[in-house]
Amino acid sequence: MQNRDEIFTTLRDAMVELFELDAERIVLEANLYQDLEIDSIDAVDLIDHIKRQTGKKIAAEEFKSVRTVGDVVEAVHRLVNAAAE
């Protein structure tokens, strides 16, 4: 998971599996809470899934600022690529 497209695909697949969402609903502009109805417990599950996929932990504070699927992609991209620098 290096580039944004790979991150989005992995994230979308995880959301389909974890939350039984239709893949078509998961777009970069989708609001996690309003459009996809993800609650705080779901968000913790998603953070845990990302941690297992990347081997890196996302700080809860960083996740508090995300609102859309695109925000999550950016947060994961920063996390994965910070280690590469």
Q: Structure pTM?
A: 0.86
Taken as a whole, the chain contains a residue count of 85
- How much is the average pLDDT of 18-45? 94
- DSSP annotation of 25 reads G
Integer Cα distance of 61 and 31 in angstroms:
18
Contact (Cβ atoms closer than 8 angstroms) between residue 50 and residue 76: yes
- How much is the average pLDDT of 16-24? 95
- How much is the average pLDDT of 32-60? 87
Contact (Cβ atoms closer than 8 angstroms) between residue 67 and residue 25: no
Q: Which residue has the higher pLDDT, 11 or 47?
A: 11
Q: What is the rounded average pLDDT for all residues in the chain?
A: 88
